[in-house]
Amino acid sequence: MTKPLSGRTALVTGSTSGIGLAIAISLAEAGARIGFNGLGTPEQIKAAEAALKAAGAPEVKFFDANLMDVAAIETMMDQVAAWGGADILVNNAGMQHTASIATMPTEKWQAIIALNLSACFYTMRRALPEMAKKGFGRVINIASVHGLVASIEKAPYVASKFGLVGMTKVAALEYAAAGSRETGGVTVNAICPGWVETALIEPQIQARAAKFGGDRDKGVQDLVGEKEPSRRMAKPEDIGALALFLCSPAAHNITGTAMPVDGGWSAQ
Ligand code: NAD
């Protein structure tokens, strides 16, 4: 049986763990060839590769680019082009650091903007023209509810994610007329998760848990309940399922959106 993404190739950045790995697994289950990327120990990278193969990816290739390095991104995009090019690009790699504006270290500002925002520009500017030539392409930028609303002590993160939502809209407009309903079109969208259960938010959970004598469950309730009316975190695979839908033919006319998966956080 032909799978929905048979014959397609997806590049998912930051897919050695968390949301990126879950998205890559969803796309692999649908039959896409998967280019994965991220930091991690050789064991983590091997485990991610095994999970992607087990999910059904016909081919899996690791790209070791550190996305804070523009030359490394260019090399990765050259290698992806030589591999047939990305029909689907998921810009997911990201980092967080919490501190007030007055105390935010300069190097954290620079690193977060470089990874969460600039790296997405460098991958998109290479991938989109190739997608337009084929008449099919999907760019999915993993922004955040913090691309829609602000919170204290997250200046570089919020700035990077608002920037990413803005750049998503520009790219969507520039490529809106590429392709056709029959070829699938070229769409560019942002997914804006609230709290998702991954390593990225663990330091924030631990900081809250400390308020309750180290009780992690109470820390989670305190953290999530403060902002999300649903009072529950999303799972990485929930984001994977939405990304997969955006890759479907039915999503050919969904472009330039910033979709919250935030339990009502940004509805308030
Ligand atoms: P994570 O820490 O589990 O994963 C981050 C991924 O990015 C990892 O694969 C890591 O190796 C990779 N990465 C980090 N620095 C890199 C670099 N310099 N070069 C290449 N890869 C690098 O985090 P996550 O929670 O899965 O986050 C994924 C994305 O989702 C991020 O963009 C994050 O901002 C966003 N997000 C997460 C949440 C959440 O609650 N977890 C909420 C909203 C948005």
Task: Write the pLDDT tens digit of every residue in 86-100.
Answer: 999 999 999 999 999
Q: How far is the CA of 120 from the centre of ligand 1 (A)?
A: 13
Q: Report the pLDDT value the prediction gives residue 216, as an integer from 0 to 100.
A: 94
Of the chain, the percentage scoring pLDDT greater than 90 comes to: 99
Of the chain, the percentage scoring pLDDT greater than 70 comes to: 100
* Averaged pLDDT for residues 4-26: 98
Residue whose C-alpha is closest to residue 185's, from 100, 87, 116:
87
Q: Report the pLDDT value the prediction gives residue 145, as an integer from 0 to 100.
A: 98
Residues 20 and 18: their CA atoms lie apart, in Å, by 6
147 lines ligand 1 (CB under 6 A): no
Task: Write the pLDDT tens digit of every residue in 198-215.
Answer: 998 999 999 999 999 999
Task: Write the pLDDT tens digit of every residue in 109-167.
Answer: 999 999 999 999 999 999 999 999 999 999 999 999 999 999 999 999 999 999 999 99
Please answer whether residues 264 and 149 qualify as being in contact, where contact means their C-beta atoms are separated by less than 8 angstroms: no
SS3 content of the chain, % helix, strand, coil (to 5): 50, 15, 35
Active-site annotation holds for 157:
yes
Task: Report the relative pairing of strands 88-91 and 33-37 from DSSP bridges.
Answer: unpaired
Pocket test for ligand 1, best of 16, 198, 202, 226 (most atoms within 8 A of CB): 198
45 lines ligand 1 (CB under 6 A): no
Q: Where are the alpha helices (DSSP H) in the chain?
A: 18-29, 42-55, 70-82, 106-113, 119-134, 155-175, 202-211, 216-227, 236-246
* Averaged pLDDT for residues 36-42: 97
Contacts of 53 (CB under 8 A, 6+ apart): 28, 60
H or E segment to which residue 37 belongs: strand 33-37
93 lines ligand 1 (CB under 6 A): yes
- What is the length of the chain? 268
Q: How far is the CA of 145 from the centre of ligand 1 (A)?
A: 14
Task: Write the pLDDT tens digit of every residue in 159-188.
Answer: 999 999 999 999 999 999 999 999 999 999
Q: How far is the CA of 14 from the centre of ligand 1 (A)?
A: 6
Full strand arrangement of the beta sheet holding 88-91:
60-63, 33-37, 9-12, 88-91, 136-142, 185-193, 258-261
Read off φ and ψ for residue 228, nearest 5 degrees: -105, 115
- Tell whether the model's pLDDT for residue 218 goes beyond 90: yes
Closest atom of ligand 1 to CA, residue 15:
9
* Averaged pLDDT for residues 13-36: 98
122 lines ligand 1 (CB under 6 A): no
Say whether 10 sits in a helix, a strand or coil: strand
224 lines ligand 1 (CB under 6 A): no
Q: Report the pLDDT value the prediction gives residue 245, as an integer from 0 to 100.
A: 98
- Token duo for residue 105: 């270290």
14 lines ligand 1 (CB under 6 A): yes
Q: Report the pLDDT value the prediction gives residue 174, as an integer from 0 to 100.
A: 99
Which of 36, 63, 157, 195 is an active site residue? 157
- Token duo for residue 136: 């099919």
- Tell whether the model's pLDDT for residue 1 goes beyond 80: no
Closest atom of ligand 1 to CA, residue 40:
11
Contacts of 103 (CB under 8 A, 6+ apart): none
- The rounded mean pLDDT for the chain is 97
Q: Report the pLDDT value the prediction gives residue 200, as an integer from 0 to 100.
A: 85
Amino acid at 8: R
- Token duo for residue 236: 């990485």
H or E segment to which residue 261 belongs: strand 258-261
